[in-house]
Amino acid sequence: MSRIDTLVCTDARKTKYRFVVLTMIFLVYAINYADRTNIGAVLPFIIDEFHINNFEAGAIASMFFLGYAVSQIPAGFFIAKRGTRGLVSLSIFGFSAFTWLMGTVSSVFGLKLVRLGLGLSEGPCPVGLASTINNWFPPKEKATATGVYIAATMFAPIIVPPLAVWIAVTWGWRWVFFSFAIPGIVAAIAWYLLVKSKPAESGFVSQSELAEINAGRESHNNSVRENILIADRFTWLDKIIRVKKMAPIDTAKGLFTSKKYSR
């Protein structure tokens, strides 16, 4: 087969690989949420072992959100310059590693430190996933893709509590974190291998699918430009409306007798 025939065959492929990417987004965000919420199911076991009071328990929870908030803005800057592939993979591996470390802590200080690390490593993940949706889907499909992405936040809390409690009762609370870390490590490798920053960089995406993604984006951009041009045509009307002068409303009577409020 000649090179030209090979190119024709490649262009003739009909792929929908972006929906494989969407499946990965759902699974990754479900794992992300599972790793942040599993502590709630086993907190009574942790409190009993470390004799933690309510203040310390609240501090442990707060450390996660501190790290989570701090890491998101830098993640956005990094993704804008370097893309999503590497950072999302690193984020998944990072929060999986800190989830594993949660099962090894031996002090309250260690719990706080690991939860801070978990938050720092989880923060870039949702930023990267949202950017992936923006890169991989045409405008008409972005709402659906975003809905699937957000659904993962509800799926994880359904599965995590009963599973975590069962593991804790059967093998001990530390095994909850060991068990939950494994899917994330697998997902980090899978993401790096399967999900590029942009569809044009992926060998799994056909030319027809790439054209479909780009055509939808170009159509959306043209529509936006057209709306701007239409708005520009009526700037004269806005100027005429603003020429009208209104008497200042400086008394209570003026408020109710003005043309704006009177009937």
What distance in Å separates the CA atoms of residue 94 and residue 188, rounded to the nearest whole number? Answer: 9
CATH of 3-206, one of 2.60.120.10, 3.30.360.10, 3.90.1150.10, 1.20.1250.20: 1.20.1250.20
Q: Is the dihedral of CA 186, 192, 198, 202 positive or negative?
A: negative
| Average per-residue pLDDT for the chain | 86
- pLDDT, residue 248, reads 63
What distance in Å separates the CA atoms of residue 79 and residue 202, rounded to the nearest whole number? Answer: 18
pLDDT at 44 over 80: yes
- pLDDT, residue 255, reads 52
Pair 113, 104: CB distance under 8 Å? no
- pLDDT, residue 254, reads 60
What distance in Å separates the CA atoms of residue 121 and residue 25, rounded to the nearest whole number? Answer: 17
- pLDDT, residue 3, reads 45
What distance in Å separates the CA atoms of residue 109 and residue 56, rounded to the nearest whole number? Answer: 10
pLDDT at 11 over 90: no
What distance in Å separates the CA atoms of residue 140 and residue 18, rounded to the nearest whole number? Answer: 13
Pair 57, 121: CB distance under 8 Å? no
Among 91-105, 192-206, 212-226, which stretch is predicted with the lowest mean pLDDT? 212-226
Q: Which residue has the higher pLDDT, 77 or 224?
A: 77
What are phi and psi for residue 224, nearest 5 degrees?
-65, -45
Q: In the structure, what pLDDT confidence band is assigned to residue 8 with cuts at 50, 70 and 90?
A: very low
What distance in Å separates the CA atoms of residue 238 and residue 48, rounded to the nearest whole number? Answer: 68
Q: Looking at residues 9-33, what average pLDDT do you find?
A: 89
Q: Looking at residues 13-41, what average pLDDT do you find?
A: 95
**Which amino acid is residue 11, in one-letter code?**
D
> pLDDT, tens digit, for every residue of 63-106?
999 999 999 999 999 999 999 999 999 999 999 999 999 999 99
